[in-house]
Amino acid sequence: MRVAFTCGILQNNTPQQEVAFTGGILQNNTPQQQVASTGGIPQNNIPQHQVAFTGGILQNNTPQQQVAFTGGVPQNNIPQHQVAFTGGILQTNTPQQQVASTGGIPQNNIPQHQVAFTGGILQNNTPQQQVASTGGIPQNNIPQHQVAFTGGILQNNTPQQQVASTGGIPQNNIPQHQVAFTGGILQNNTPQQQVASTGGIPQNNIPQHQVAFTGGILQNNTPQQQVASTGGIPQNNIPQHQVAFTGGILQNNTPQQQVAFTGGILQNNIPQQQIAFTGGVPQNNIPQHQVAFTGGILQNNIPQQQIAFTGGILQNNIPQQQIAFTGGILQNNIPQQQVAFTGGVPQNNIPQHQVAFTGGILQNNIP
């Protein structure tokens, strides 16, 4: 997937995402996503997604989604392959690095990494990563990337990133997407996404994202994210984040975040976030978030988020998000998101996405 542009100088790029811009000079980029700007000056880029644009100056971007546009406005870029062009035309990009141009015409973008361009027209975006263009015409966009998970996979949630985890799979957590662990202890979460752990001890939760933990009691939750505990009955939940837990029954949930947990029954879920848990069987999952849990079998997952759990076998995962769980086998993982779970030991994890779960050891994780 090497791509070099006119008059650009390609230096120290890896074969994965080598991209140099016209007249630009590649400096201090990591091998993963090295991108130099055309006459721009990259500043304060982290190694993961360093991207500067034509004449633009990259300043004060978060480590995960540092993107500066040329007079444009960066909106809700996903962390994995955020790259924009200047007046160019997006053609023949692979599913992993599909990039829209600034003022150009996005072509052949897959739903996973669809990025709108400034002043262009957003077309063929999925609800997962729909991004409107600056001054353009948003089409088929949901409000801002509203994606429910609570027990699923955290990706491009609402601007606030309100997510109830409990048994979910944290991926690419920056301080904005902090997700609690199962049986762990929630510490050092930002006020925006404080989530209690399942069986753990909720600490320092603000009213915005108060979530009860398995076997616990739901107290002092706001109407926004009221969640019942394991074996309990969901009460006073609003449609936004209604979630029933282990042995519970999913009732009165909206199609957006209907999730049934261990031993539960998955009912009336929309294709976006259908998830079956421990001992369950994934049914009617779309390729985006297909997840099978403890003792389950990974079926029909797309390469982006293929995940096998406790006792499962990791198969057909791409290097980006390969994750094996307790008793599983970690194979062909890249250093970026290698994660071992319950009872496991995280090995060769980079500081960005190191996550260990119930009974595991959390080491060198970022906030």
How do the pLDDT tens digits run along the chain, 367 residues long?
333 333 333 333 332 233 333 333 333 333 323 333 333 333 333 332 333 333 333 333 333 233 333 322 333 332 223 333 333 333 333 332 333 333 333 333 333 233 333 333 333 333 323 332 222 223 322 222 222 222 223 333 332 233 333 333 333 333 333 333 332 333 333 332 333 333 333 333 333 233 333 322 333 333 323 333 333 333 333 222 333 333 333 333 333 233 333 333 333 332 223 333 333 333 333 222 333 333 333 333 323 233 333 333 333 332 323 333 333 333 333 222 333 333 333 333 332 233 333 333 333 222 2
3-state secondary structure of 5: coil
Please, are residues 360 and 344 in contact by the beta-carbon 8 Å criterion? yes
Among 362, 354, 341, which Cα is nearest to 171's? Answer: 354
Query: Which residues on neighbouring strands pair with residue 268, listed in sequence order?
Result: none
Please, are residues 169 and 246 in contact by the beta-carbon 8 Å criterion? no
Burial code of 18-27, b = ≥16 C-beta within 10 A, e = fewer? bbbbbbbbbb
Instruction: Return d(Cα 146, Cα 241) in angstroms, integer.
Output: 12
pTM of the model: 0.12
Instruction: Return d(Cα 177, Cα 154) in angstroms, integer.
Output: 7
- Rounded to 5 degrees, what are φ and ψ at 274? -70, 125
Query: Which residues on neighbouring strands pair with residue 324, listed in sequence order?
Result: 308, 340
336, two tokens: 């970026």
pLDDT of residue 88: 30
3-state secondary structure of 97: coil
Among 198, 194, 195, which Cα is nearest to 184's? Answer: 198
Please, are residues 242 and 234 in contact by the beta-carbon 8 Å criterion? yes
Longest dimension (CA), the chain: 64
pLDDT of residue 329: 32
DSSP state of 221: -
Residue type, 9: I
pLDDT of residue 179: 33
Please, are residues 79 and 65 in contact by the beta-carbon 8 Å criterion? yes
Q: Please return the burial class of 91, using the count of CB atoms within 10 Å of its CB with bins 0-12, 13-18 and 19+.
A: exposed
pLDDT of residue 315: 33
Q: Please return the burial class of 247, using the count of CB atoms within 10 Å of its CB with bins 0-12, 13-18 and 19+.
A: middle
pLDDT of residue 278: 30
Side-chain-side CA neighbours of 347 within 13 Å: the count stands at 9
- Rounded to 5 degrees, what are φ and ψ at 61? -85, 155
Please, are residues 330 and 346 in contact by the beta-carbon 8 Å criterion? no
pLDDT of residue 193: 31
Pairing of strands 19-20, 85-86: unpaired
User: Length of the chain in residues, anyone?
Assistant: 367
Instruction: Return d(Cα 201, Cα 185) in angstroms, integer.
Output: 6
Please, are residues 75 and 90 in contact by the beta-carbon 8 Å criterion? no
